[in-house]
A and B are shown apart, each in its own frame.
Chain A
Amino acid sequence: MSASIRGQNATFHFPAADCSRIPYGMYLDPEIYALEQQRIFHGPVWNYLALEAEIPEPGDFRVVAVGDTPVIVNRDREGRIHAMVNRCAHRGSIVQRAAYGNARAHTRCYHQWSYDFSGRLLNVPFQKGIGGKGGLSKDFDKSCHGLQRLHVQTLSGVIFGSFSGSVKPLEDYLGPVFAHQVRRLFTKPVRILGYQRQRIFGNWKLYTDNLRDPNHGGLLHMFQITFGIARLSSKGGAQLDAEGKHNLSWAAQGGRAEADSDDGYAGTDRGDMAITLRDPSMLRYAKEFSEDLTLAISSIFPGAALQQIGNTLAVRQIRTRSANEFDIVSTFFGYQDDDAEMARHRLRKANLAGPAGLVSMEDGEAVELVHRAIVRDGDCHSVVEFGGRGPVTDQENLVSDVPMRGFWLHYCKLMGITPGEDA
């Protein structure tokens, strides 16, 4: 173990033990990206896959992704959930071509090999050849040629998958804070409202950084500053799990941390609250949870986030495509017992989130601005010191990027890097 990691054309060094310095090359190098697929996404983590409500009936399936690996999530005849890599054991082609549906089995169009809901190989056409010629040899054992299976665990109808046999049980992996966040949002039967997809031309970790940097919310996302939804001076903070890898950024409406705390906006052109909306009804928060949180984004390592922006509820999943590109797929939901007014309110309030979100659209631009600027100088470092250096702990305010260091410390652990140690 050392503080350095070898990329394709360079070695990247983490000089600070608290991950307050991150080499830019970690966001750019294709070899690092390949290692991440193996050590992070296929490593000892639980990846969010889908919601049980998306595959309610036996035979229902959806094709999702873990990192850049295509994965089928489906429900078998007995109602059990399985997940397996969507890649045929024969010649590696995609097995299930549809994005979603209900199937009797998954049959690959290329050579018609078919698999059951747990990924077992069911049938190979012309397995014995014709007239004793061709086909597969007599000792071909179908049970050894199934689809690669993921371990699956669910919590309150949220499906997670792992390639690792050594990962902790899901609830231990989440820890009490994040297990509670999952239970809180999925306390009753949900109704899927729809999907939003966004492609961002930057490295996926710039987005996970962004999720763990509550400091940006009150400076970049001017809609919420301008219209008073959330400001850095709001009551809010960050909560982490024991390993610091997950982060809950939260804010409670109405509260002000300090009477004069808006002075921090001096010198920026932000913080002008003179502008008003003609129809502010969308901003209304109909309190529906026991806690007072109006904004709660739980980022689950490595690539998922549970989102509550008022009454706008969604799960976001990062699907990586290369070192320079990733997608965010968001599944918006409400509850089956929503009345007509609440159902309408959620759909209107969804204007705040997603790629066209009045609050969130800036994130796509922010990630791309950083990615474009760091194309060279891979061994220069970004400075992560808001909220102080040293140990990673919960934050009682929003002017902090300490949670980012929590992500990177866990990332380094899985990647085999010991930050701060001499090479």
Chain B
Amino acid sequence: MTEAATLIETYGRLLDEDRLEDWLDLFAETCRYEIVSRENRAQNLPLSLMLCDNKDMLRDRIHSLRHANIFNIHRDCHVVGLVRVEAGQGGQISATAAYSLFQSNQDGETRLFSVGRYHFELLASEGGMLIETATVVVDTGTILTLLATPI
């Protein structure tokens, strides 16, 4: 249980420290990563803001951010609330937590960029716990400026 909470703390910290390649290592090869708005969720509409349904797509996202995309230069600060962990059958572990994500620009101006809730499905493996699915349901469905780095 604490292992799950630690994993989620690491998840936010690696994003904050711009260690996106290390962040990738938290995911299983069969992973799915999705950011979806509460607006679409509430209406049962399938469109995401970001959807990587295998690890290569997630690697490509990060690769593209590093080598192709141009976005606002900023630093993230994830504030993740208490993690609720539930163990299911067959070693499957679900974890949910609310988050706030603050963004600061190069002048040190900070804005609240996004709030919402994480839904993780975690998998215990030999090398430790890995993320099987990460679904980020954002309440802040109006994206401020643009959404480049994962939430």
Q: Is the CB of B71 within 8 A of A365?
A: yes
B87 within 8 A of A: no
Q: Does B61 contact A (CB under 8 A)?
A: yes
Interface size class of A (residues with CB under 8 A): 35 or more
A residues less than 8 Å from B69 (CB atoms): 222-223, 358, 361-362
Instruction: For the complex formed, measure the closest distance between the CB of B5 and the CB atoms of chain A, giving whole angstroms.
Output: 27
- In contact, A195 and B68 (Cβ under 8 angstroms): no
In the complex, A356 Cα to B71 Cα: how many Å? 10
CA distance A348 to B46 in the complex (A): 11
Q: Could you say which residues of chain B place their CB within 8 Å of the CB of A197?
A: 37, 39, 141-143
B60 within 8 A of partner (CB): yes
Kindly state the separation between the CA atoms of A347 and B64 in the bound complex, as whole angstroms: 19
* A278, B59: Cβ atoms closer than 8 Å: yes
User: With A275-B67, A362-B70, A362-B71 in contact, do A195 and B60 touch (Cβ < 8 Å)?
Assistant: no
Contacts of A327 in B (CB 8 A): 142
**Smallest CB separation, A85 vs chain B (Å):** 22
Verify B37–A196 contact, CB threshold 8 A. yes
B-side contacts of A195, CB under 8 Å: 37, 39-40, 45, 47, 141
Chain A residues lying within 8 Å of B144, measured Cβ to Cβ, are 199, 201
Decide yes or no whether B147 CB sits under 8 A from chain A. yes
* Cα–Cα distance between A368 and B145 once the two chains are bound (Å): 8
- A355 and B72 CA atoms in complex are apart in Å by 12
Q: Number of contacting residues on B, CB 8 A?
A: 36
Q: Which of B89-111 contact A (CB under 8 A)?
A: none
Interface positions of A (Cβ within 8 A of B): 99-100, 192-201, 220, 222-223, 225-227, 275, 277-279, 282, 327, 332, 343, 347-348, 350-351, 354-356, 358, 361-365, 368
The complex places the Cα of A222 from the Cα of B56 at a distance, in Å, of 20
Complex Cα–Cα for A188 and B71 (A): 37
Beta-carbon contact of B50 and A351 below 8 Å: yes
| CB of B112 closer than 8 Å to a CB of A | no
Question: How far is it, in angstroms, between the C-alpha of A199 and the C-alpha of B113 when the chains are bound?
Answer: 11
Q: How far is the CA of A43 from the CA of B4 in the complex (A)?
A: 58
Chain A residue numbers with a CB within 8 Å of B147 are 355-356, 361
A362 to B148, CA, bound (A): 9
A238 to B56, CA, bound (A): 35
B142 nearest in chain A by CB position: A197
**Judging by beta carbons under 8 Å apart, are A220 and B70 in contact?**
yes
> Does B84 sit at the interface, judged by CB under 8 A?
no
Which one of A193, A222, A368 lies within 8 Å of B45 (CB-CB)? A193
A287 to B117, CA, bound (A): 38
Task: State whether B148 touches A361 (Cβ < 8 A).
Answer: yes
Closest 8 CB pairs of A and B: A194-B47, A194-B45, A356-B147, A355-B143, A364-B146, A279-B56, A278-B56, A194-B40
Among B50, B53, B63, contact of A356 (Cβ-Cβ < 8 Å) = B50
A100 contact set on B, CB distance < 8 A? 43
A194–B46 contact, CB under 8 A? yes
CB contact list, B27-43 vs A, under 8 A: 35, 37, 39-40, 43
Say yes or no for B49: interface residue by CB 8 A criterion. yes
B124 interfacial contact with A, CB 8 Å? no
User: What separation, in Å, do the CA atoms of A363 and B72 have in the docked complex?
Assistant: 11
Which residues from chain B contact A332 at a C-beta distance below 8 Å? 47
With CB as the reference atom, state the residue of chain A lying closest to B143.
A355
Chain B residues positioned under 8 Å from A354 (CB to CB):
49
Q: Which of B45, B64, B148 contacts A192 (CB 8 A)?
A: B45
From the candidates A99, A277, A361, A362, name the one contacting B60 in the complex (CB within 8 A).
A277
Give bound CA distance, A100 to B39, whole Å: 11
Find chain A residues with CB under 8 A from B64 CB: 223, 226, 358
B14 surroundings in chain A (CB, below 8 A): none
28 contacts between A and B (CB under 8 A): A193-B45, A193-B47, A194-B39, A194-B48, A195-B37, A197-B142, A198-B142, A198-B146, A222-B68, A223-B68, A277-B60, A278-B56, A278-B57, A279-B56, A279-B57, A347-B48, A348-B57, A351-B50, A351-B52, A355-B143, A356-B35, A356-B49, A358-B68, A358-B69, A362-B70, A362-B71, A364-B145, A365-B145
